[in-house]
Amino acid sequence: MDNSYHFGKATHSEQKAEPIRRITGNVGEKTHKIDGFFLLLVIILTVTGTVMIASAGSAYALAQYGDSFHFISRQIMFAAMGFFVLALFSRTSRDTIHKYTTHLYIVTVILLILVLIIGVNLNGAKRWINLGFATFQPSELAKLSIVLMLAKYFTDTEAKTVGKRGFSRFLADTLVPFGYIGLFCALIALEKHLSGIIIIGMIGCSMIFLAGAKIKNLASVGAVGISGVAAFALFTDYTKKRIDIWRNPELYPRDGGWQTIQGRMAIGSGGLWGLGLGNSRLKYSYVSEPANDFIFTVTCEELGFFGALIIIALFALLIYRGYVIALRCEDTFMRLVALGISSKIAIQVILNIAVVTNVFPNTGIALPFFSYGGTSLIILLMEMGIILSVSRLSNIRK
């Protein structure tokens, strides 16, 4: 890494002046109250997302399960569990999170292997473990795990890499971190989960960049990774077909292109002001997965362009506030964690909207806070709790 680090690390002169505080993160345990504005944004987005699941998923739930409240009743339960986890992690200390990060990474690897052995097949993919009362998707945990593991790695190796040059620096700053990322991506590739590979890869690259790796080193290794993903997409039948559908969805109106075509119709039919909450027409067996990956299309139809714009603005404020909390935190580890989680939210929001508008091939990417799912919501609120824990160490004007 250069002497002038990006967001993740201090300058060389700062390290000489404060080596213990900057490397270990011991900032005297001076804490503040949690960031109330960030928590308010989390609550607003969770409530709005839950309301939209109730509206968008009612018809599909009735058709599939005979109960129009199937999705909303379960999502409310998941949200309650998630806020309990949020409260717990908002009070969890920096040292506890740092201590168990490696354990979490190892557990995630084991779960990613287990899902290949005992996982259940849903919607043509084997990505979930059946817990009896619900299903669990290990790849969702991998997104948080890679953020924590890379934050711990860069924090713990910061002192050892100062002054190194050449290949040894390249090895420490880029190759080893890509090893952590590559293990997850390889296991997720066995699930034939292209979107999971893309998101994990993008989160990992953002962490390496934020920690201060040289752009040319990141670009060189990243190019190899992108080539691998491209080869996976082009030479795997199901992903190759998705690319063909993305390019010409109208040629596949009943075989893959239906979801894209109906999703765009829903977005367009909403106009500026929308049809009104609960008044979507295309959620009635037209838009596929209306309570999940394509919930944003129904949101646009019911709330219109301006409603969708407000939701995007709420996401932007949440992400921005997450970065503010991170950059005001003096602890390197917690700063990188908050930056990584905020970047993860940004990546998923951008990719989901890109998918439903057909800017990006349909790869099944959930919209945070909005898409139905217990694993994703609980882990998401856990991440929000961690950022709130970081805010207790951040010097922010309330």
Pairing type for strands 125-130 and 120-122 reads: antiparallel
Rounded to whole angstroms, the Cα distance separating 78 from 337 reads: 24
Question: CA angle, 115 as apex, 76 and 121 as ends, to 5°?
Answer: 70
Report the pLDDT value the prediction gives residue 226, as an integer from 0 to 100: 79
Total structural domains within the chain? 1
Q: Is residue 22 part of a domain?
A: no
Report the pLDDT value the prediction gives residue 262, as an integer from 0 to 100: 87
Q: Please give the sequence-ordered ranges of beta strands (E in DSSP) within the chain, or none if there are none.
A: 120-122, 125-130, 135-136
Report the pLDDT value the prediction gives residue 235, as an integer from 0 to 100: 67
Domain hosting 385: range is: 35-108+138-391
- Residue 70 CB contacts under 8 Å (≥ 6 apart), including other chains: 57, 61, 64
Report the pLDDT value the prediction gives residue 390, as an integer from 0 to 100: 96
Reduced DSSP (H G I as helix, E B as strand, rest coil) percent helix, strand, coil of the chain, to 5? 70, 5, 25
Q: Is residue 156 part of a domain?
A: yes
Half-sphere exposure of 334 (CA within 13 A, CB side): 35
Report the pLDDT value the prediction gives residue 166, as an integer from 0 to 100: 61
Inter-CA distances, 250 with 233, 241, 246, 286, 362, Å: 21, 14, 9, 15, 14
> Is-contact 228 178, C-beta < 8 A?
no
Q: Is residue 12 part of a domain?
A: no
Show the tokens assigned to 132: 């009896």
> Is-contact 120 169, C-beta < 8 A?
no
Q: Is residue 201 part of a domain?
A: yes
> Is-contact 77 372, C-beta < 8 A?
no
Closest CA to 380 of 364, 369, 392, 367: 369
Q: Is residue 130 part of a domain?
A: no
Residues in the chain: 398
Amino acid at site 67: D
Rounded to whole angstroms, the Cα distance separating 377 from 381 reads: 6
Amino acid at site 224: V
> Is-contact 82 368, C-beta < 8 A?
no
Report the pLDDT value the prediction gives residue 160, as an integer from 0 to 100: 58
- In our burial notation (b when 16+ CB lie closer than 10 A, e otherwise), range 179-214 reads ebbbbbbebbbebbbbbbbbbbbbbbbbbbbbbbbb
Would you call 230 helix, strand, or coil by DSSP?
helix
> Could you identify the residue written with the tokens 């700053």?
173
pTM of the model: 0.88
Rounded to whole angstroms, the Cα distance separating 377 from 289 reads: 17
Q: Is residue 70 part of a domain?
A: yes
Question: What is the CB neighbour count within 10 angstroms for residue 49?
Answer: 23
In terms of Cβ atoms closer than 10 Å to its own Cβ (0-12, 13-18, 19+), residue 119 is buried
Would you call 327 helix, strand, or coil by DSSP?
helix
Report the pLDDT value the prediction gives residue 163, as an integer from 0 to 100: 54
Count of H-run helices and E-run strands, the chain:
16, 3
Q: Is residue 28 part of a domain?
A: no
Report the pLDDT value the prediction gives residue 363, as an integer from 0 to 100: 80
Under-70 pLDDT residues of the chain: 1-31, 123-124, 159-167, 232-238, 395-398
Assign residue 274 a region (left: φ > 0; alpha: ψ between -120 and 50; beta: otherwise): left
